[in-house]
Amino acid sequence: MLAKFKSARGQLDFVVKWLNANKKENVKWDMGKSVNDKLYFPIADSWRSVEARENDCTERIQIIISIIEDR
C-alpha cells in the first residue's frame, strides 16, 4: 500500500533489495502454502502445484517492485 505514495517510494528501496535477495535459485519467489489466506493471486486457480504457486508469487512480487521503482 505504501508503494503507491510517491513520497514513500524512495524509502522503500530496501524492500526491493530484500525481495531480490530472497529469490529462489530458479529466479522465482515462493511465499509458501501458508500465505494463501484468501488473497487474490493473478494466475492460478489452485496452489496444488509448486510451479503454480511460484508463478503467482513471482507475478505479485514483480508488480509490487514495479510500483516501487516507478518514479
pLDDT tens-digit map of 26-70: 899 988 776 655 665 557 777 778 888 888 889 889 988 998 888
For the chain, give the DSSP string: -GGGSHHHHGGGHHHHHHHHHT--TTS-----GGG-SS---SS-S--SSHHHHHHHHHHHHHHHHHHHH--
Write down the pLDDT at residue 70: 80
pLDDT for residue 50: 83
Q: What is the dihedral of CA 27, 34, 9, 62, to 10 degrees?
A: 30
Q: Rounded to two decimals, what is the model's pTM? A: 0.74
For residues 47 and 33, what is the distance between their CA atoms, to the nearest angstrom? Answer: 7
